């Protein structure tokens, strides 16, 4: 019955859950797109400038630019090894170019350009886009595109002719306009983007550049090289005779770690986005990023996957939305959902702390529970609102300390805080000790930055903290005067003996009490600073109803994003029940039942052999096992005998194992195969 | 003064103009002219012209054929990835596009000859037709019959046509082993220093006097002539550095005639150019910007080879390290390096004399995937699950050209790789992960 209820609950809430899901997904997707574009803004802008400049200098006719006219302007765009992210950059780059600089943009990838494919692709992209864009010129475009099918005509001279007719057409209306301005170049450049320079065949590329340089006078070509590793690859790929035909300018994009930091900053370290990850899931996503691919796009995909999984698997995720909506949704919760809330571990802990009467109320009275839930949700939102500013403050204070006890990046600190009480951490203690030893100007600078962080936050507690900090800062500034005065005295005295004496005096006084106002103040500051984390940086598990917002299943995320094909194959072969879910295959002690698929039996038998496996022995063992499965009488003559069908099944199983890479044929002995795997993994 | 070209077949004026356009190549041009004879005379079937880069081969041909208005087709062999393109271009420039469109889809040499003959009989040649083939050395890689056939094309098509091959290498390297018609050989020697001076002085800046520019070229050649005799490069360098040369003049510090002061000003500058622009470390555009920026910010701009640092994911670094170890260590020493209890291996036996120190000189050796992974798992400090992304990292290292795949792409079973990074690179990588790679390298034991 409970099952039925659960099911009904799911069913009832499904529509609304879906609605919320789509809502918040919508919130994430534009975020990412905008974010990516913003991050690339600078580099894209400079690239656009570069293309504009190149096309305008081409039309200048002064001496210097004429002498340089034979070079093909080239932008070497270093993007880092996170190749999956590049697509998006190139897409927006070519869109921007098409919008503002030139309609003639072709991007090519190495894998489509083997042999003479490169030239063909470039022509196809440049001239083919025309057909779709301009309907008026369809006839003409068709004329030019028909010979394309005949690869005989596929040469750059065709492109030159095409370009000439193209620019002529667009020029005639241009003359009618007031004046041909320089911003609107008469000859828009032809931009060719090589998305992955490293993967190109150097020979193909060299030839292409040589050919292009023959046409540079007639065709304003421009290259953009997408480089994943380092610019010196250009020198590795192109000999001097070819690279002297290019005029290369270097553009360096943001490193992917900076990229990630921004994404985390905008999507995770913010209270605007109600969906949260717990420490383990975040750790999985981070480790995939840092250890495997450096791809921000994959990180965001992982985040989206976690989001989907959360809304899919946790019915209470209806409450994971903006505060106003969440409070409304609480009122609409059904009885079964409230039961689910009562079963939440965090809620149980909360109940245990209440008075007995209250406990009864909470477990019996639905409306009372709803009210409490509203209160708790408010509390959770407040917690988030305070958590992030305090986290950032703590990070600014600790990130410049020697040897980074709490990590260089704010995400590391965030992970520490998510896991457990940060103030119990050993590193935190050392960080606080180091903070106590800071010089005054450093401390003031750090406090100033904290003040800047806290200033825009609209929360009562944060306002208080802000006031407290500004107070401290003014006190620090007042300290300045008494420190200067002894120095002024010192300048008057010129006698060496006197000087020594005063210095000694000063030293003593310093030891005694002279600098103590600063120290007192510093201790005060540290005291108040160390209090803040205690009240605001407690891990989310300690908060009631955290299950609503926090996604916890790191195993699912790991399984989906970081697949282990070999482990899966081994699992399937070892215990076929895991995948087939057939009761007959169920075994107790991990052994394979006789009725398992042939390949499982063959695999199990091969595990018992040494490096070389005698095929005939293997076959006999297999036949025995299969006979047992067929229920033959062990005493009968046929038992364990190899008949044609069994033989065929065995051979198939063996060849399947060979295909999976567990065995291979060997030349050492003709009727043997060699094992390729060892151990349990 | 330019020497006069003399030939009975052409007008004086034209020859005069040609001579002006071809400074320091009068001898060669005259030789060519006498080889070509008068336009209507039958010419020698094939001429082979060779000489270094930028010794004026194409330029001389271009000028002669254009100025004397001879029917010709110029084809660059780089562009002709297939013979079809070559045939098409020749037919196009001799007989127009309807001839070119007659070519079948993948034409053979006999198709070309047939169509040529057909059109040739319709419009017989009044003058010798010339086919100029630039970068002819690439013809050696095409079909074996192409080069011999082109050399005696005159015979084949029965037309007054001459093939002119331009190449940077000598004819001896061309000669097919089946033998062929021997073309006339013509060598274009390198320009001497005086000739370079004369040619470079021709593209003078419009706002300065010719003598001034000529003195500039003199200084430039003094610096660069020892390292570079390529006319094109020199011209490029001259253009780039001229503004700097004129700077004191514009400021009014020196007069045009004060060569010594000008020399003192430009000389260190040219030395720097030799190390950067000439090697294409810095592009010409950046070089110009650099000049405008003055000396103070010069450190900001670094050449291409200065950027060698590559950010890699953590496991990719270890995969690359493992690949490097597998490439440069003999396989039999793996046991010694990566097994904790490797037992006793006698040192004398272990260190074979001829193997010692030679691995890095010999370059990377191929290794199978299994060995790479085995080393990887023993090198990386934590337990790593054999996930799909580990394997995909290997292939992405291959596309980044940090590893190269040795075996054929089709071979799925036990692929072999080579490590394609330098010692410095791998040292930098292993420093970032605190791995002492020197300790694991057989050569440095």
| Tokens representing residue A191 in the block | 């931009």
Of A199, A234, A241, the CB nearest to B399: A199
Tell me how close the Cα of A228 comes to any Cα of chain B, in angstroms: 7
Please answer yes or no on whether A199 and B236 come within 8 Å at the CB atom.
no
Please indicate whether, in this complex, the C-beta atoms of A291 and B105 are within 8 angstroms of each other. Answer: no
* Burial of A557 (C-beta count, 10 Å sphere; 0-12/13-18/19+): buried
- Which neighbouring-strand residues pair with A432? none
Beta strands in B124-160 (DSSP E): 129-134
Nearby residues of A320 by Cβ (< 8 Å), 6 or more positions away: A20, A24, A274, A275, A310, A311, A326, A548, A549
* pLDDT score, position B48: 92
- Tell me which of A21-25, A291-295, A366-370 is least confident: A21-25
Q: Report the DSSP pairing between strands A246-252 and A72-78.
A: parallel
Q: Is residue B200 assigned to a domain?
A: yes
pLDDT at residue A73 in the model: 86
Measured in angstroms, the CA of B227 and the nearest CA of chain A are apart by 14
Q: Verify that B164 and B205 share a domain, yes or no.
A: no
| Per-residue pLDDT, B346 | 54
> Which residue from A191, A195, A244 is spatially nearest to A55, judged by alpha carbons?
A191
Look up residue A558 and give its two tokens.
């790991």
Mean pLDDT across chain A, nearest whole number? Answer: 77
Confidence of residue A151 (pLDDT cuts 50, 70, 90): very low
Contact B399 A153 (CB under 8 A): no
SS3 assignment, position A194: strand
Report the residue of chain B nearest A117, measured CA to CA: B81
Same domain, B234 and B366: no
- Cβ B385 vs Cβ B348: under 8 Å: no
- Which residue bears the tokens 């406990």? A359
What residues of chain B score a pLDDT lower than 70?
A: 1-5, 277-308, 341-357
| Banded pLDDT at A140 (limits 50, 70, 90) | very low
CB contact under 8 A, B235 and A67: yes
Cα B21 to Cα B17: distance, rounded to the nearest angstrom: 6
Residue in B closest to A70 by C-alpha: B236
Helix, strand, coil percentages in chain B from 3-state DSSP, rounded to 5: 50, 10, 40
Question: Do B70 and B206 reside in the same domain of the chain?
Answer: no
Which is higher by pLDDT, A103 or A67?
A103
Domain boundary among B156, B187, B218: B187
On whether both B96 and B213 belong to a single domain, the answer is: no
By Cβ distance, the residue of B89, B305, B387 closest to A563 is: B387
Centre a 10 Å sphere on the Cβ of residue A564 and count the other Cβ atoms it contains: 17
What pLDDT score does A492 carry?
45
Closest-CA residue of chain B to A677: B370
CB B400 within 8 A of CB A81: yes
What's the pLDDT tens digit per position in A299-335? Answer: 888 888 888 888 888 888 888 888 888 888 888 888 8
State the Rg of chain B over Cα. 31
- CATH number among 3.10.20, 1.10.10, 3.40.50, 2.60.40, domain A565-675: 1.10.10
Q: For residues B436 and B430, give the distance between their C-alpha atoms in angstroms, rounded to a whole number.
A: 7
Q: Which residues in chain A are closer than 8 Å to B78, comparing Cβ atoms?
A: 207, 210-211
Q: Which helix (H) or strand (E) holds A129?
A: helix A117-133
Task: Give Cα separations from A570 to A122, A621, A679, A681, B389 (angstroms).
Answer: 46, 21, 12, 8, 18
Binary contact (B84, A199; C-beta < 8 A): no
Q: Which of A244, A245, A295, A301 to mutate to test the interface with B (most CBs of B within 10 A)?
A: A244
A173 pLDDT exceeds 50? Answer: no
d(CA A68, nearest CA chain B) in Å: 7
User: What whole-number distance in Å separates Cα of residue A284 and Cα of residue A291?
Assistant: 10
Tell me the shortest Cα–Cα distance from B392 to chain A, in angstroms. 9
Q: What CA–CA distances, in Å, run from A461 to A455, A465, A467, A545? A: 12, 6, 10, 22
* Angle between helices A440-454 and A516-536 in degrees, nearest 10: 30
pLDDT of residue B325: 94
Chain A interface mutation, best of B166, B311, B413, highest count of A Cβ atoms under 10 Å: B311
- Same structural domain, B248 and B159: no
Which of B297 and A431 is assigned the larger pLDDT?
A431
For residue B271, the SS3 value is helix
Question: Is the whole model's pTM more than 0.90, yes or no?
Answer: no
Contacts of A291 (CB under 8 A, 6+ apart): B313, B314, B315
Minimal Cα distance from A289: which residue of B?
B313
Claim to verify: residue B322 and residue B344 sit in the same structural domain: yes
Same domain, B242 and B319: no
Separation in Å, CA of A166 to nearest CA in chain B: 21
Best mutation target among A46, A229, A658 (most B Cβ atoms within 10 Å) is A229
Same domain, B247 and B107: no
Number of folded domains that form chain B: 3
A664 neighbors A673 (Cβ within 8 angstroms): yes
Q: Do A214 and B79 touch (CB under 8 A)?
A: yes
As a residue count, chain B comes to: 445
What are the residues whose beta carbons fall under 8 Å from the beta carbon of B63, sequence distance 6 or more?
B18, B21, B22, B29
Assigned token pair, A299: 């990180």
Q: What are phi and psi of A248, to 5 degrees?
A: -95, 130
Establish if B235 touches chain A: CB-CB under 8 angstroms.
Answer: yes
Q: What is the CATH number of the domain that holds B117?
A: 3.40.50.300
The answer as to whether B8 is a domain residue is no
Using DSSP, state whether B415 is helix, strand or coil.
coil
Q: Which residue has the tokens 């780039």?
A: B240
Cβ atoms of residues B389 and B373 within 8 Å: no
Question: Which residues of chain B does A214 touch, with a Cβ-Cβ cutoff of 8 Å?
Answer: 76, 79
Question: Would you tell me which residues 380-399 of chain B have a C-beta closer than 8 angstroms to some C-beta of chain A?
Answer: 385-390, 393, 396, 399
Q: Residue A353: helix, strand or coil by DSSP?
A: coil
Per CB-CB distance under 8 Å, the chain B contacts of A249 are: 283, 285-286
pLDDT in the model for residue B247: 79
Chain segment A217-266, per-residue pLDDT in tens: 888 888 999 988 888 888 888 888 888 888 888 888 878 888 888 888 88
Do residues B415 and B391 lie in contact, with contact meaning Cβ atoms separated by under 8 Å?
A: no
* Separate counts of helices (H) and strands (E) for chain B: 20, 8
> Under a CB-based contact definition with an 8 Å cutoff, are residues A384 and A546 in contact?
no
Q: What is the ipTM of this complex?
A: 0.86
Q: DSSP characters for B45-113?
A: SEEEEE--TTSSHHHHHHHHHHHTT--EEEEETTT-SSHHHHHHHHHHHHH-HHHHTTS-SS--HHHHH
Across the interface, which of B312, B386, B402 has its CB nearest the CB of A566? Answer: B386
Q: Which residues on chain A are in Cβ contact (under 8 Å) with B229?
A: none
Q: Is A173 exposed, middle or buried (0-12, 13-18, 19+ CB in 10 A)?
A: exposed
Asked if residue B9 belongs to a domain, the reply is no
Distance separating alpha carbons of residues B43 and B113, to the nearest angstrom: 19
Q: Which of B84, B283, B312 sits opposite A81 (nearest CB)?
A: B312
Inter-chain touch A235–B305, beta carbons under 8 Å: yes
Please name the residue of chain A whose CA is at the shortest distance from the CA of residue B308: A230
Q: Which helix (H) or strand (E) holds B186?
A: strand B184-187
Residues of B in contact with A234 (CB under 8 A): 304
Helix (H, G, I), strand (E, B) or coil at B285: helix
B297 CB-side CA count, 13 A = 10
Which is more confidently placed, A507 or A552?
A552
| pLDDT tens-digit map of A567-586 | 888 888 888 888 888 877 77
- Closest residue in chain A to residue B284, using alpha carbons only: A247
Contact: A152, B88; criterion CB under 8 Å: yes
CA dist A70 and A215 (Å) reads 9
The answer to whether residue B286 is domain-embedded is no
In this structure, the answer to whether residues B67 and B43 fall within a common structural domain is yes
Nearest to B54 by CA among B168, B133, B221: B168
A537 pLDDT tier (thresholds 50, 70, 90): confident
Q: pLDDT-based confidence at A178, cuts 50/70/90?
A: very low
Exposure string of A3-13, with b = 16+ CB inside 10 Å and e = fewer, is: eeeeeebeeeb
pLDDT of residue B127: 84
Q: What is the pLDDT of residues A268-308, one digit of tens each?
A: 888 888 888 888 999 999 998 988 888 888 888 888 888 88
The residue among B82, B307, B411 with the most chain A CBs within 10 A of its CB, best to mutate, is B307
In sign, the C-alpha dihedral spanning A57, A59, A60, A66 is positive
pLDDT (tens digit per residue) in A371-427: 888 898 898 888 888 888 888 888 888 888 888 888 888 888 888 888 888 888 888
What confidence score (pLDDT) does residue A655 get? 93
Confidence (pLDDT) at A648: 93
User: Is residue B411 one of the residues assigned to a domain?
Assistant: yes
Interface touch A229/B399, C-beta < 8 Å: no
Mutate to test the interface with B, among A143, A246, A291, A665 (most CBs of B within 10 A): A291
A87: closest CA of chain B, how far (Å)? 15
pLDDT at position A150 over 60 = no
Query: How many Å separate Cα A283 from the centre of its chain?
Result: 12
B174 and B41 in a common domain: yes
Report the alpha-carbon distance of residue A107 to residue A125 in Å, rounded: 8
Calculate how close chain B gets to A116, using CA atoms only, in Å.
7
At residue A635, does pLDDT exceed 70?
A: no
Second-level CATH architecture of A30-128+187-254: 3-Layer(aba) Sandwich (3.40)
**B316 in contact with chain A, both atoms CB, cutoff 8 A:** yes
Boundary of a domain, candidates B135, B170, B187: B187
* Chain A contacts in chain B segment 402-441 (CB below 8 A): 402, 413
The domain boundary, picked from B187, B220, B242, lies at: B187
Domain ranges of chain A: 30-128+187-254, 315-479+515-547, 565-675
Cα separation, A548 vs B300, whole angstroms: 52
A523: helix, coil or strand? Answer: helix
Min Cα separation B400/chain A (Å): 5
Residues 6+ apart with CB under 8 A from B183: B44, B45, B46, B47, B48, B151, B163, B165, B171
- Distance, in Å, from the CA atom of A192 to the CA atom of B318, rounded to the nearest integer, reads 35
Domain span at B349: 310-444
The Cα–Cα gap between B180 and A669 comes to 55
| Contact B236/A at CB under 8 A | yes
**Taking Cα atoms as reference points, which of B52, B23, B396 lies closest to residue A298?**
B396
Claim to verify: residue B209 and residue B263 sit in the same structural domain:
yes
Helix (H, G, I), strand (E, B) or coil at A106: strand
- Long-range pairs for B248-257: beta carbons < 8 A, 24 or more residues apart: B256/B208, B256/B209, B256/B211, B256/B212
Q: How far is CA B299 from the centre of its chain?
A: 30
Say what the pLDDT of residue A19 is.
42
H/E stretch holding A307 reads helix A296-313
Which has the minimum average pLDDT: A428-432, A620-624, B281-285?
Answer: B281-285
pLDDT computed for residue B339 by the predictor: 78
Say whether both B181 and B316 belong to one domain: no
């Amino acid at each position: 019955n409970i099952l039925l209820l659960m099911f009904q609950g799911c069913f009832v809430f499904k529509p609304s859950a879906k609605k919320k899901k789509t809502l918040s997904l919508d919130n994430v997707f534009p975020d990412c797109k905008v974010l990516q574009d913003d991050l690339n803004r600078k580099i894209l802008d400079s690239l656009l400038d570069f293309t504009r400049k190149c096309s305008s200098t081409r039309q200048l006719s002064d001496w210097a630019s004429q002498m340089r006219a034979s070079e093909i302007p080239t932008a070497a765009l270093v993007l880092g090894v996170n190749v999956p992210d590049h697509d998006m950059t190139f897409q927006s780059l070519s869109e921007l170019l098409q919008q503002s600089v030139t309609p003639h943009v072709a991007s090519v990838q190495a894998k489509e350009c083997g042999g003479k494919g490169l030239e063909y692709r470039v022509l196809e992209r440049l001239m083919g886009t025309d057909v779709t864009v301009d309907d008026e010129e369809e006839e003409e475009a068709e004329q030019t595109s028909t010979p394309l099918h005949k690869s005989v005509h596929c040469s750059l001279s065709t492109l030159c002719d095409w370009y000439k007719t193209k620019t002529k057409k667009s020029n005639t209306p241009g003359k009618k306009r007031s004046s041909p301005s320089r911003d609107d170049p008469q000859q828009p450049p032809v931009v060719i983007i090589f998305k992955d320079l490293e993967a190109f065949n150097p020979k193909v590329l060299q030839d292409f550049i040589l050919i292009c340089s023959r046409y540079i006078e007639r065709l304003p070509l421009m290259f953009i090289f997408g480089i994943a590793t380092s610019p010196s690859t250009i020198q590795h790929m192109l000999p001097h005779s070819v690279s002297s035909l290019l005029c290369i300018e270097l553009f360096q994009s943001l490193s992917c770690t900076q990229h990630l930091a921004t994404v985390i900053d905008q999507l995770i370290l913010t209270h605007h986005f109600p969906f949260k990850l717990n420490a383990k899931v975040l750790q999985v996503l981070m480790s995939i990023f840092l250890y495997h691919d450096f791809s921000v796009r994959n990180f965001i995909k992982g985040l989206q996957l976690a989001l989907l999984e959360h809304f899919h698997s946790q019915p209470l995720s209806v409450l994971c939305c903006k505060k106003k909506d969440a409070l409304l949704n609480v009122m609409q919760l059904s009885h079964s959902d409230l039961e689910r809330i009562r079963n939440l571990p965090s809620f149980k802990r909360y109940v245990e702390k209440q008075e007995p009467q209250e406990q009864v109320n909470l477990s019996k009275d639905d409306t009372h529970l709803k009210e409490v839930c509203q209160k708790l949700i408010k509390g959770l939102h407040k917690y988030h609102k305070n958590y992030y500013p305090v986290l950032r403050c703590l990070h600014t204070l600790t990130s410049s300390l020697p040897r980074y006890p709490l990590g260089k990046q704010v995400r590391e600190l965030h992970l520490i805080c998510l896991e457990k009480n940060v103030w119990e951490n050993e590193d935190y203690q050392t960080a606080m000790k180091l903070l106590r030893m800071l010089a005054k100007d450093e401390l003031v600078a750090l406090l100033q930055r904290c003040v800047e962080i806290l200033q825009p936050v609209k929360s009562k507690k944060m306002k208080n903290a802000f006031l407290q900090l500004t107070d401290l800062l003014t006190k620090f500034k007042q300290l300045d005067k008494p420190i200067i005065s002894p120095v002024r005295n010192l300048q008057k005295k010129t006698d060496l003996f006197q000087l020594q004496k005063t210095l000694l005096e000063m030293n003593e006084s310093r030891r005694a009490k002279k600098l103590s106002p600063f120290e007192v103040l510093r201790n005060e500051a540290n005291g108040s600073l160390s209090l803040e984390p205690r009240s605001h940086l407690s891990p989310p598990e300690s908060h009631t109803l955290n299950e609503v917002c926090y996604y916890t299943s790191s195993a699912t995320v790991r399984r989906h994003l970081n697949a282990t094909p070999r482990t899966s194959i081994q699992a399937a072969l070892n215990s076929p029940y895991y995948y087939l879910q057939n009761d007959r295959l169920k075994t107790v002690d991990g052994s394979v039942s006789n009725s398992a698929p042939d390949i499982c039996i063959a695999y199990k038998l091969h595990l018992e052999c040494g490096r070389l496996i005698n095929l005939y022995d293997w076959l006999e063992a297999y036949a025995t096992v299969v006979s047992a499965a067929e229920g033959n009488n062990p005493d009968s003559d046929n038992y364990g005998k190899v008949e044609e069908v069994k033989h065929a099944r065995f051979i198939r199983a063996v060849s399947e194992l060979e295909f999976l890479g567990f065995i291979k044929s060997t030349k050492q002995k003709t009727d043997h195969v060699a094992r390729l795997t060892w151990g349990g993994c | 003064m330019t020497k006069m070209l003399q030939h009975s077949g052409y007008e004086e004026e034209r020859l005069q103009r040609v001579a002006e356009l071809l400074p320091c190549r009068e001898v060669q041009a005259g030789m060519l002219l006498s080889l070509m004879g008068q336009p209507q005379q039958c010419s020698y079937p094939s001429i082979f012209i060779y000489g270094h880069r930028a010794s004026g081969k194409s330029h001389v041909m271009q000028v002669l054929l254009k100025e004397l208005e001879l029917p010709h087709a110029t084809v660059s062999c780089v562009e002709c990835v297939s013979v079809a393109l070559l045939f098409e271009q020749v037919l196009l420039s001799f007989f127009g596009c309807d001839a070119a469109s007659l070519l079948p889809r993948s034409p053979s040499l006999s198709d070309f000859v047939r169509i040529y003959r057909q059109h040739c009989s319709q419009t017989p040649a009044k003058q010798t037709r010339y086919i100029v083939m630039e970068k002819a050395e690439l013809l050696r890689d095409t079909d074996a019959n192409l080069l011999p056939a082109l050399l005696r094309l005159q015979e084949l098509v029965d037309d007054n046509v001459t093939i002119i091959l331009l190449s940077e290498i000598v004819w001896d390297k061309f000669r097919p082993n089946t033998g062929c018609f021997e073309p006339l050989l013509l060598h274009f020697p390198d320009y001497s220093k005086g000739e370079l001076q004369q040619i470079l002085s021709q593209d003078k800046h419009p706002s300065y006097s010719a003598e001034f520019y000529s003195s500039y070229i003199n200084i430039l050649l003094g610096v660069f002539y020892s390292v570079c005799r390529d006319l094109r490069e020199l011209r490029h360098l001259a253009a780039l550095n001229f503004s700097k040369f004129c700077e004191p003049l514009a400021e009014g510090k020196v007069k045009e005639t004060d060569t010594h002061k000008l020399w003192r000003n430009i000389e260190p500058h040219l030395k720097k150019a030799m190390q950067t622009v000439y090697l294409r470390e810095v592009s010409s555009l950046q070089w110009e910007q650099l000049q405008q920026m003055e000396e103070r910010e010069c450190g900001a701009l670094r050449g291409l080879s200065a950027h060698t640092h590559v950010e890699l994911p953590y496991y990719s670094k270890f995969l690359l390290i493992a690949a490097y170890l597998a490439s440069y260590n003999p396989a039999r020493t793996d046991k010694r390096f990566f097994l904790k209890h490797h037992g006793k291996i006698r040192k004398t036996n272990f260190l074979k004399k001829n193997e010692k120190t030679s691995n890095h000189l010999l370059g990377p050796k191929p290794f199978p995937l299994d060995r790479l992974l085995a080393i990887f798992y023993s090198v990386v400090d934590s337990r790593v699950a054999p996930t799909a992304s580990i394997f995909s990292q290997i292939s992405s290292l291959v596309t980044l050209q940090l590893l190269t795949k040795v075996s054929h792409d089709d071979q799925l079973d036990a692929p072999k790789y080579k490590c394609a990074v330098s010692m410095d690179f791998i040292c930098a990588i292993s420093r970032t992960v605190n791995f002492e790679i020197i300790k694991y390298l057989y050569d440095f034991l």
